[in-house]
Copies of this chain bind each other. A is one copy, B any other.
Amino acid sequence: MDAQHQLLQRLQKPSDRKIVLVVADGLGGLPQIPDGPTELEAAATPHLDLLAAGGVCGLHWPVLPGITAGSGPGHLALFGYDPLVYEIGRGVLSALGVAFDLHSGDVAARGNFCTLDDRGRVTDRRAGRIATAEAARLVEKLRRIELPDARLFLEPVREHRFVLVLRGERLDPGVGDTDPQQTGIEPHAPKPLRSDARTTARLVERFLGQAHELLSEERPANGVLLRGFSQRPDWPTLGELHGVRACALPTYPMYRGLARLLGMEVGVDSDADLTGQITALEENWERFDFFFLHHKEPDSRGEDGNFVSKVSAIERLDGAMPRIQALQPDVLLVTGDHSTPSRLRSHSWHPVPVLLASRTARPDTAQRFGESACRAGGLGLLPGKQLMALALAHAERLEKFGA
């Protein structure tokens, strides 16, 4: 356990004060035109602005200045896990993303369908980004493969992507990627990175041999590439670290899987909309004292490059605030897991606005919720992984350190 976790665990105070963490995925942005507002600044957010005016604001670096966080690391930081210490393998993250029930001991890998030429060299690492349905058909075909002493699970993801999971005795994820990350050469053989991983590497080799046989007549997807072999990590839960009973309200599989991995109970159906998520928050209110409400849309619209849609997505979250506030949480923390400026059509490293509303907040000069206002806020610029301690402190759930 790292030093921050030891400290927080040691300072835990029994309490039923309630914390709501609202994550607007990809919240931070960039102006569309010079001197223009960001998406958040362009949005009409009267409720968030009022909260910002009465609370304390700031900006957080999800990982470190200059580092663009994926959704996994971005969320881990928000839950108080140093994303550089707690790393989730790509295989596991992909399995969580399709709601695969990963057992401890399973080895998961991220798979790509690819195109190979007649000499076995990769000509397209993504097989022309084949349609999801086509990939699903191929996955079905590969499910015929049988391996000695191990069960094989395959799940399609999106386009050319799939997940491979091996289940058996004493499997070891220390297997090198077969994806060469370039074209014009053959895929790598699955190399054991340590002696304990030899059996697993041999299983992967057998899988690949049979897969390439089964796919030999297919075009363009006549090969597969694997990377990110990994196992479900055994990390301390949010309850263990922070003494909270945590309820997660995300609808996307990856976030549901991540929440379960950290010992949170998922309290909402995966097909709920934002209104349904808030209803689930209300229904679970009495049973828990930490709530993670996830609003995916700003990130998706940012990745679409659609400034106006991202603005609307943020405004929809603003419209949901009154019902959250009506529950009177002791601490209401609103932020994002990373920035997704629509101008860049991707995640970015820019610091993310933070708003913390609580009876114990020291008011600052931020009168609205936006990048510029937050820059002058009382929390300054701080690492994302430190926000959880602040939320616990404002909920008066932490003892004093030293006499």
Contacts and interface: CB of A to CB of B under 8 A. Distances in A.
A114 interface: no
Contact of A66 (B72, B365, B389): B389
Contact of A401 (B73, B381, B389): B73
Contacts of A84: 3, 7
Interface string A355-366: 000001011110
Contact of A402 (B69, B351, B364, B386): B69
B365 A401 contact: no
Contacts of A386: 64-66
Interface in A345-402: 346-351, 360, 362-365, 371-372, 375-376, 378-382, 386-394, 398-402
Nearest to A65: B386
A378 B66 CA distance: 13
Interface residues of A, number: 65
A71 B363 contact: no
A349 B364 CA distance: 16
A63 B11 CA distance: 13
A30 B362 contact: yes
A67 B376 contact: no
Contact of A64 (B31, B72, B344, B389): B389
Given A349-B393, A380-B381, A68 B401 contact: yes
Given A4-B64, A402-B72, A365 B372 contact: yes
Interface stretch (A87-95, A215-223, A286-294): A87-95
Nearest to A228: B403
Contacts of A375: 364-365, 376, 378, 380
A63 B386 CA distance: 12
Interface string A67-88: 1111111000000000110011
A35 interface: yes
Contacts of A391: 66
A54 B36 CA distance: 12
A90 B403 CA distance: 7
A38 interface: yes
Contact of A88 (B63, B376, B392, B402): B402
A34 interface: yes
A300 to B, nearest CB: 15
A70 B400 contact: yes
Contacts of A344: 360
Contacts of A381: 379-382
A63 B3 CA distance: 13
Given A375-B376, A381-B380, A393 B67 contact: yes
Q: Which 3 A/B pairs are nearest by Cβ-Cβ distance?
A: A66-B389, A70-B402, A380-B381
18 contacts: A31-B362, A38-B362, A63-B401, A64-B386, A64-B389, A68-B393, A68-B398, A68-B401, A70-B402, A72-B402, A73-B401, A73-B402, A83-B401, A346-B400, A348-B360, A362-B371, A365-B372, A380-B381
